[in-house]
Structure 1
Amino acid sequence: MLLIDITIVLVALPSMSESLGSSLSQLQWVADGYALAVAAALLGVGMLADLYGRRRVYVAGLVVFALASVACALSPGMGWLIAARLVQGVGAAAMFTTTLSLISTLYSGSRLGTAFGVWAAVAAGASALGPIMGGLLTEALDWRWIFYVNVPVTALALAMTFRYIPRSAPGRGAGRRPDVPGIVLFALAAGGFVYALTTSHAHGWSSAGTLVPLAVGLAAFVGFLAVQRRGTHPLLDLSLFRRPAFAAAMLTIAVGEGAVYGILPYTSIWLQSVQHLAPIGAGLVVLPHALAAALVAILSGRWMPKPSPRLGAVLGLLLAGIGVGAEGFLGPDSGWPALVGGLVLSGVGMGLVFQVAAALALDSVPVERAGMASGIYSTVEQLGYAFGVAVFGTLGVTVMTNSLDGTVADPAGAAQTLSGGGAGTLLSAAPAGQRAAFDHTLHAVFAGGHNTLALTAGALAVAGAACVFWLTRRPESPGKEVAGPPAEPAGAVPAAE
């Protein structure tokens, strides 16, 4: 539910604009404000989960998410909608950061591997289901229903939580104060970075609108690291990154998210703007990727209950890199079938990446650090995606600008329009007698830009696989990694909270 809400909104943005009246920047905040709040709150709620109980924080996140979803659906204007999306993101962060740690305390052995596989399958499928569900609900009902639909799902999740998830006792640090300076500084750092990355398309990398929040984020991050080094009970235990398996898990999910899903928005734009597919059709083209990722995640979870970073992470990134690179051979006359093979192969790789990285992140830390590890993992995943989208977006615009130079009067402006899904706008502005030739040019320019993105992303994933291989070149000494807690069967008698 919380991952689908990242992409489900994208399809409904035109309907929101027509209903409420909005500027482009307001529409961007509807989409980006949610991701911004999620990234900024993840580590903080991870610490709260370790201090006060993971189930308690998870339930609180569900309630906040549901109430904010209702507020989004009832929005009378864009300001209300943006504010509600920010609150919704905080609730999503509380849900996101606790799911992995809850799973790690409920299962062990092969059942733990299967559970992580199912979790990874759901995560992989969300990217494809979002546009499909958004298109169906918006076309059949109204854009407000993309938020109303969260209410019955939340009610079901709450009922299942109280029935099947035992109460989690507070961690060893219960009673001590949360690291408020760390929470605030990290929220500023993550918020500054994500804001700069997500708005770099509109402002440009050298503009004050990008550099100022980037500088704020960097300064807050430096302050955050200083506070964590001096703190007795830090929000982020920096020693975790000295564990090769944990570091490998963070590198794996960051590179996988950035490389594979960083170019997916531009693949979707190519399908809808150049190939003229409806949002539902574009979602169906990407569906084989999600299905392959889901199937592999579940199967690998059963076969590798305690995954090896060399076997799972390296192979996953390698296959994902080859798959996304295979999407980089489009021509002016290529259609959507040219993408399917690469999408399936990258889905196989990401199925391994999701399952292995999540399991490694939780399995390589002490149980009292499970909430923190889950928060770090989720934060790195969100930032990897945001950074990938921003960097590949800039690269795509640069390539398209060079390709359009000499063809149109304003190649930079035309490239921005084309990369943002405005191929039809550019075509309608061309003289009637030149539209056929110009349409072919736009096909070639977008295909060339997409090819550059796909091949670069493929090289990045392969390089990431090599780094993980080097990072895990020595097996960890016995006792360095702290095993997860004993299994507690579903339906067990709840411990005191």
Structure 2
Amino acid sequence: MRKWGPLVAVCLGTFMLLVDVTIVIVALPDIGATLNASLSQLQWVIDIYALALAALLLGAGSAADVIGRRKVYVAGTALFALASLACGLAPNAGVLIGMRVVQGVGATAMFATTLSLLGAAYQGRDRSVALGVWGAVSGAAAALGPVLGGLLTQGLSWRWVFFVNLPVSAAAIWLTLRAVRESRGGVGARIDWAGTAAFSAFAGTATYAVIRADAVGWASGRTAWTLVVSAAALALFVVVERRSAQPMLDLRLFGNRSFVGVMVGTVALNAAAFGFAPYTSIWLQTVLGMSPVRGGLVLIPLALAAFVAAGLGGRLLHGAPHRWVVVGGLLLIGDWSLAQAVLDAGSDWTSLTAGLALAGFGVGLVNPAVASAALASVPPRQAGMAGGAVNTMRQLGYALGVAVFGTLLTARAQHSLSADGVQDPHAAARALAGGAAREVLTRVPSGQREAVDHALRAAFASGLDTAAVVAGAVGLTAGVVVILLVRTKAPEAAHEQPEQAVRPTPLAVERQ
């Protein structure tokens, strides 16, 4: 246990924080019913956690270099546990969303230090083994989230989706204090507070604008002013990072075409593959009437295919140019999305199975390849910064994907309901997308329920089709961008750089 204790401690925390990105998806209908949550609130339950990871990850990495990585990891795990308890006890949607923010802050502190701790604990072959196990745990966490969420929601209640984090957090903290030694960045490292604040403001306001646009209108003054604030925050971030002697993100990296291409591919991966997964889960449970467990199991083909593709791809595609692996995966994800856009009022879960498997193969190929491509596109001394940027873009892509596809789904559903003559189609569409299909039906006279039920099924299917078409276009377009921008380096160089990315050396380090 002394040798592999650090690995177990880090993997416990990693599994837990990444499970919480997807575990809530299957519980959304129950959360909405129990807390009387609106569609916007359900979107924020998902988005705010991923958004915190995206906005704070790079800043947390620089903070850990200064404060101490073990100290930050333990503090983050404790905060994550307390926030999880508060989420499980939340009396209303507002409290739940607020505590998800705090939970995301704790998860960020954990995620930003995981590879740093492993890099300090292991060397040589042991390090390769540790990183391989960590990667497998990371992939399994996102895949098992919906299934675990379904089991807990149906067997106990949605609140146990959060309560389950408490014993795991306690074990992770205990083992970290016993088995993991402290490490820090180089002399002179400092926290980039200004850059962290500016990037957080940009990411938060951009997502808020997209989520609220459906309710207040894209042409409204509120949406316009929010987008202006978001653009100003992004401009401020650029100014701050350009003037900083020790920026958390060296903007000169974006002068590298290959790095830009990798970032585009990373955002597209999580947006296209996972952005409308919450709405698929709501469709399965509230429109088709499936249980949380069955709804989670429907997503298993994606998880299994991703696991198989990641394993086989690492062996069969060893030495293959990174850009072609990324492009191949994005094309699979794009093709799946377009193939899924055939749902109608009579469709059931079997319509998704083949497409989910196809998308899973794409995800399994792209996930490891974008990290390798990012590392190969920058000098070894900036490998840690590049890895942190990849993880940041992943979470930002997921958060924006959920927001954009929710807006598209409700807009298309409203159009469909209006054509079918449903009263107040805007309110009905938002209630439908928020998981309140049954509640809508209860307000309809019994003689009209069959017709309205058919209209609701058709509207939700139409909304999912629209989201799928856009997701497919995102995936295919990103594939073209990667072909045009990413240039292949020698495979040997790419394989050398991950060692640099986790080495406990000064500053631009281990922020993955």
> Structure 2-normalised TM-score?
0.82
Give the letter aligned to residue 480 of structure 2: A
Give the letter aligned to residue 445 of structure 1: A
Aligned to 2:477: 463
Aligned to 1:414: 428
User: Is the Cα–Cα contact under 8 Å of residues 79 and 106 in structure 2 kept in the other structure?
Assistant: yes
Q: Matches of 2:123 and 2:181 in 1, distance apart?
A: 15
Aligned to 1:495: none
Aligned to 1:97: 112
Q: Deviations over 1:27-79 (max 9, x none)?
A: 66544433333232112112224445545433432232223323444557766
Q: Helix, strand or coil: the match of 1:3?
A: helix
Q: Deviations over 1:271-325 (max 9, x none)?
A: 1222111121111001110111122123323445666322320111111112222
1:196 aligns with 2:209: yes
- For residue 461 of structure 1, report the CA deviation from its aligned partner: 0.8
Q: Deviations over 1:393-439 (max 9, x none)?
A: 22222322332333223333333233333332333333433333333
Aligned to 1:57: 72
Q: Helix, strand or coil: the match of 2:190?
A: coil
User: Is the Cα–Cα contact under 8 Å of residues 100 and 358 in structure 1 kept in the other structure?
Assistant: no
- For residue 262 of structure 1, report the CA deviation from its aligned partner: 1.3
Give the letter aligned to residue 406 of structure 2: G
Are the structure 2 counterparts of residues 5 and 207 from structure 1 closer, same or farther at C-alpha, using a change threshold of 3 Å? farther
Aligned to 1:329: 342
Aligned to 2:300: 287
User: Is the Cα–Cα contact under 8 Å of residues 241 and 248 in structure 2 kept in the other structure?
Assistant: yes
Are the structure 2 counterparts of residues 81 and 449 from structure 1 closer, same or farther at C-alpha, using a change threshold of 3 Å? closer
Q: Deviations over 1:158-188 (max 9, x none)?
A: 45556776654423xx324322221221222
Q: Matches of 1:321 and 1:24 in 2, distance apart?
A: 26
Aligned to 2:82: 67
- For residue 197 of structure 1, report the CA deviation from its aligned partner: 3.1
Are the structure 2 counterparts of residues 479 and 444 from structure 1 closer, same or farther at C-alpha, using a change threshold of 3 Å? closer
Give the letter aligned to residue 39 of structure 1: A
Moved more, 186-195 or 13-22: 13-22
Aligned to 2:270: 257
- For residue 122 of structure 1, report the CA deviation from its aligned partner: 4.3
User: Is the Cα–Cα contact under 8 Å of residues 302 and 357 in structure 2 kept in the other structure?
Assistant: yes
1:5 aligns with 2:5: no
Aligned to 2:239: 226
User: Is the Cα–Cα contact under 8 Å of residues 262 and 486 in structure 2 kept in the other structure?
Assistant: no
Aligned to 1:435: 449
Give the letter aligned to residue 144 of structure 2: L
Q: Matches of 2:374 and 2:174 in 1, distance apart?
A: 28
Aligned to 2:437: 423
User: Is the Cα–Cα contact under 8 Å of residues 48 and 399 in structure 2 kept in the other structure?
Assistant: no
Query: Which one of the candidate residues 462, 467, 488 is aligned to 1:448?
Result: 462
Aligned to 1:397: 410
Aligned to 2:4: none
Q: Helix, strand or coil: the match of 1:232?
A: coil
Q: Matches of 2:125 and 2:258 in 1, distance apart?
A: 19
Q: Matches of 1:271 and 1:256 in 2, distance apart?
A: 23
Give the letter aligned to residue 130 of structure 1: G
Q: Matches of 1:264 and 1:329 in 2, distance apart?
A: 16
Give the letter aligned to residue 219 of structure 1: A
Q: Deviations over 1:134-165 (max 9, x none)?
A: 33323433444322321222234345556776
Stretches of structure 2 that go unaligned for 5 or more consecutive residues are: 1-15, 504-512
User: Is the Cα–Cα contact under 8 Å of residues 98 and 371 in structure 1 kept in the other structure?
Assistant: no
Aligned to 2:218: 205
Q: Matches of 1:424 and 1:251 in 2, distance apart?
A: 39
Aligned to 2:10: none
Matches within 5 A, 1:236-315: 236-304=249-317, 308-315=321-328
Aligned to 2:398: 385
Q: Matches of 2:494 and 2:251 in 1, distance apart?
A: 15
Q: Matches of 1:272 and 1:185 in 2, distance apart?
A: 39
Q: Matches of 1:308 and 1:114 in 2, distance apart?
A: 24
Aligned to 1:492: none
Q: Matches of 2:339 and 2:176 in 1, distance apart?
A: 42
User: Is the Cα–Cα contact under 8 Å of residues 318 and 461 in structure 1 kept in the other structure?
Assistant: yes
Q: Matches of 1:178 and 1:321 in 2, distance apart?
A: 39
Give the RMSD, CA atoms, in angstroms: 3.6
Are the structure 2 counterparts of residues 53 and 152 from structure 1 closer, same or farther at C-alpha, using a change threshold of 3 Å? same
Q: Matches of 1:288 and 1:442 in 2, distance apart?
A: 27
Aligned to 2:12: none
Q: Matches of 1:86 and 1:234 in 2, distance apart?
A: 25
Query: Which one of the candidate residues 309, 319, 329 is aligned to 2:332?
Result: 319
Are the structure 2 counterparts of residues 253 and 474 from structure 1 closer, same or farther at C-alpha, using a change threshold of 3 Å? closer
Q: Matches of 2:502 and 2:429 in 1, distance apart?
A: 55
- For residue 367 of structure 1, report the CA deviation from its aligned partner: 5.4
User: Is the Cα–Cα contact under 8 Å of residues 373 and 494 in structure 2 kept in the other structure?
Assistant: no
Q: Helix, strand or coil: the match of 1:35?
A: helix
Moved more, 122-131 or 250-259: 122-131
- For residue 326 of structure 1, report the CA deviation from its aligned partner: 1.7
Aligned residue pair count: 487
Q: Matches of 1:206 and 1:488 in 2, distance apart?
A: 46
1:145 aligns with 2:160: yes
Stretches of structure 1 that go unaligned for 5 or more consecutive residues are: 490-497
User: Is the Cα–Cα contact under 8 Å of residues 339 and 355 in structure 2 kept in the other structure?
Assistant: yes
Give the letter aligned to residue 245 of structure 2: T
- For residue 354 of structure 1, report the CA deviation from its aligned partner: 1.0
- For residue 345 of structure 1, report the CA deviation from its aligned partner: 0.5
- For residue 336 of structure 1, report the CA deviation from its aligned partner: 0.8
- For residue 24 of structure 1, report the CA deviation from its aligned partner: 7.1
- For residue 4 of structure 1, report the CA deviation from its aligned partner: 2.3
Give the letter aligned to residue 145 of structure 2: G
Moved more, 235-244 or 133-142: 133-142
Moved more, 27-36 or 277-286: 27-36
> Identity percentage over the alignment?
48
Q: Helix, strand or coil: the match of 2:23?
A: helix
Aligned to 2:99: 84
Matches within 5 A, 1:155-170: 155-158=170-173, 161=176, 167-170=182-185
Are the structure 2 counterparts of residues 267 and 475 from structure 1 closer, same or farther at C-alpha, using a change threshold of 3 Å? same
Give the letter aligned to residue 318 of structure 1: L
